[in-house]
Structure 1
C-alpha cells in the first residue's frame, strides 16, 4: 500500500471513529436524560400522594413499579441500539477498508497491465523490424524469433487470464467437464515450457494414466499459470519441479520453485484478485495479480483445494488436490 493510500485510509479512519464516538456519546446522553426524566416524574408523582389516602400504599407501589419498568425499557432500548450501532459500524469499517484496498489493487493492476502489454509488443516489434532491416546469421535470427514467440505467448496468456477470469466471475463461462488424462496434459505443458525456456531447468515426476473429470482449457490454464509463476519468482539457475501423483482417490499436483519464498502472512492473500506482494511502482517482477486468483477459482470450480507452503531448503511449493473418480492402479 503506497503512502497516499495509507494517508487516505488514516483520514477516513479518524473521521469514522470520531463520528462513531459522537453517535455513542449521543446515545448515552439520551439514556441519561430519559432516566433522569423518569426519576423526576416518579418523584413528582410520589410527592403528590397524601399519607392519609387509604390507597396510598397501592398508588405508591404502582408509581415505583412504573419507574422500574421504564428503567428496564430504556436500558433495553439503549442496549439494543448500542449493539446495532457497534455491529453496523464494524461492517461499515471493514467494507470501507476493503473498498480502499480493492481500489488500490485495481490501480496496481492497471499499472501492471499497461506494462505487461507494452513490453512484449515493443520487444516483438523491435525484433521483427531488426529481422526485416538486417541480414542476420541464422543462429541470431532463430534466437530473435524465439524471443518474439515467447513475448507473443506472454500476450496470449495475459489475454486468456483476463478473459477467462471475467467470464468465470460473471458466470458466462460454461464449464465442460469430461474425462481426460491429467498426466498427458501436465507433460505437454512442461515440454512446452522446456521449448519456450531452454535456459531454465525443469524437473518432472509425473505418474502415468492419472484421469479426472474436468475442463481441459481451464486445467491447462491452471498448470500453465503455476509453472509461469514459478519461472517468474525463481532465479535462472533454480530448478522448477512439477509433480503429479495419485494416492487412492486423491490427485496431487505440485509446482516447486527455488525463489525467495512467500512470507507466512502473505500465503493466503496471494490468491486474492489483483493482489501482489510489494509495491507496483518499485516491483521488478512481471505480473498482474490475476494468475493465482484464477488458479484458485479454477480449482474451486473443480471441487479441489489449493495452498502454498515453503519448499525445502528455499522457495515455494504450490499444491493442488483433486478427487479422482476411481482409485489409481500402480
Structure 2
C-alpha cells in the first residue's frame, strides 16, 4: 500500500514538473515571437516616417534594416541562451529530485530492515535464555541454546559494527590502521566464524605459502565476513558456499561463491550502492540492511584493491576481491 502511494506521488510530481516546464518553454517561445513581431512593427513604422525625397533616404533605410536584423540576432541569441539554461536546469533538477526520492525510499527500506534485523536476534536470545531459565534441560540441549544465542549476539554485533562504520566512513572520520596481515589466517578465521552456524560452508585448501598484504585487520575481516554472510543468505541452507584464496605474483585473489539465484547484469553495479537491496521490504525474504556490500567495496577500495561480481555456473554468483600483496 505504501509503495503504491509512493509510485502515485512520484507520478503526480513528474506530471506537474513537466507541465510547469512546458509552460515555461511555451512562455519563452511566446516572448520571442512577440519581440520579433514588435521588431518588425518598429522597423516598418520608422520606414514610414522617412521621406523618399530625402538625399539620405537609402542610407537611412539600410540603417533601419541593419538594426532590425541586429535585433533579430540579439533575440535569437538571448532566447537560445535562456532556453539552454532552462533545459539544463530542468534536467538537473529532475535528476536530483528523482535521486532524492529514490534515496528517501532506500532509507525508509533501510529503517524497516534495520528494525527487523535488530528485533530478530534479540527475540531469539531472549527466547533461548527464558527456555534455559524455565525448563530443566540436559547439558547438550543447554549448550545448543547457548551456542545459538551467542551466534545471534555475534550477528547483532556485526550489524552494529556495519552501521557505525558506515557512518564513520561517510563522515571521513575513520582512519585505516594498516599492518602486515597474513591473509591465510584472515580467511580461515572468517570461514570458521560462520562454519558453526552453516555447515555447508566450504573453505578450499589455502596456499601453502602465506599470502601477506598490508591493511586494516578489523576492516578487512569485516569485508570478508560481509561477503560470506551475503553468500549464505542468498544460497539457502541446502546449497554450498565456497571460499577461495589464491596468491599471484603481485595480487591476492579472494573468491566467495554461492549457488543462489544470481544477480542480473543490470544489478551487478547497483549491489554496491548504499541501502540498495533487490526487491521491496514487503516482498523480500532475505535478511540484510543494504550496507554490507556498500561497506565492503569502500573497504577494498581504501586498501587499493578492487571488487566485482561474476556469474557462477550453473547458478549463483561469485564475488571476487583483488588486493596487492606486500611483495608487489
TM-score normalized by structure 1?
A: 0.95
Checking the alignment, whether the CA contact within 8 Å between 1:308 and 1:316 is kept in structure 2 is yes
2:10 equivalent to 1:3: no
5+ residue gaps, structure 1, are: none
2:189 equivalent to 1:188: yes
Per-residue CA distance 1:185-217 (angstroms, 9 max, x = gap): 1111112221343x3232324324211121111
2:98 equivalent to 1:135: no
Determine the structure 2 residue equivalent to 1:324. Answer: 325
Per-residue CA distance 1:2-37 (angstroms, 9 max, x = gap): 212111111110010001000100111111111111
How far 1:142 sits from its partner (Å)? 1.6
Checking the alignment, whether the CA contact within 8 Å between 2:234 and 2:261 is kept in structure 1 is yes
20-29 or 173-182, larger mean C-alpha shift: 173-182
> For residues 83 and 196 of structure 2, what CA distance do their matches in structure 1 show?
65
237-246 or 93-102, larger mean C-alpha shift: 237-246
Classify the secondary structure of the residue corresponding to 1:245: strand
RMSD of the alignment, in Å? 1.4
Per-residue CA distance 1:263-304 (angstroms, 9 max, x = gap): 221111111111110110121111111111111111121122
Checking the alignment, whether the CA contact within 8 Å between 1:202 and 1:240 is kept in structure 2 is yes
> For residues 262 and 195 of structure 2, what CA distance do their matches in structure 1 show?
23
Alignment of 1:153-172 (within 5 A): 153-172=154-173
Checking the alignment, whether the CA contact within 8 Å between 2:178 and 2:214 is kept in structure 1 is yes
Alignment of 1:1-330 (within 5 A): 2-197=3-198, 199-207=199-207, 208-327=209-328
Checking the alignment, whether the CA contact within 8 Å between 1:203 and 1:239 is kept in structure 2 is no
Classify the secondary structure of the residue corresponding to 1:261: coil
- 4+ runs of 1 displaced by more than 4 Å? none
Per-residue CA distance 1:50-94 (angstroms, 9 max, x = gap): 222111121111111111111111101111111111111111111
Checking the alignment, whether the CA contact within 8 Å between 1:201 and 1:237 is kept in structure 2 is no
> For residues 206 and 57 of structure 1, what CA distance do their matches in structure 2 show?
96
Q: How many pairs are equivalent?
A: 326
**Cα distance change, pair 12–85 in 1 and its aligned pair in 2 (3 A):** same
**Cα distance change, pair 68–206 in 1 and its aligned pair in 2 (3 A):** farther
> For residues 185 and 100 of structure 1, what CA distance do their matches in structure 2 show?
40
302-311 or 1-10, larger mean C-alpha shift: 1-10
Classify the secondary structure of the residue corresponding to 2:180: strand
Classify the secondary structure of the residue corresponding to 2:245: strand
**Cα distance change, pair 36–6 in 1 and its aligned pair in 2 (3 A):** same
How far 1:246 sits from its partner (Å)? 2.7
How far 1:324 sits from its partner (Å)? 2.8
243-252 or 2-11, larger mean C-alpha shift: 243-252
> For residues 187 and 104 of structure 1, what CA distance do their matches in structure 2 show?
38
Classify the secondary structure of the residue corresponding to 1:233: helix
> For residues 205 and 43 of structure 1, what CA distance do their matches in structure 2 show?
92
170-179 or 150-159, larger mean C-alpha shift: 170-179
**Cα distance change, pair 59–273 in 1 and its aligned pair in 2 (3 A):** same
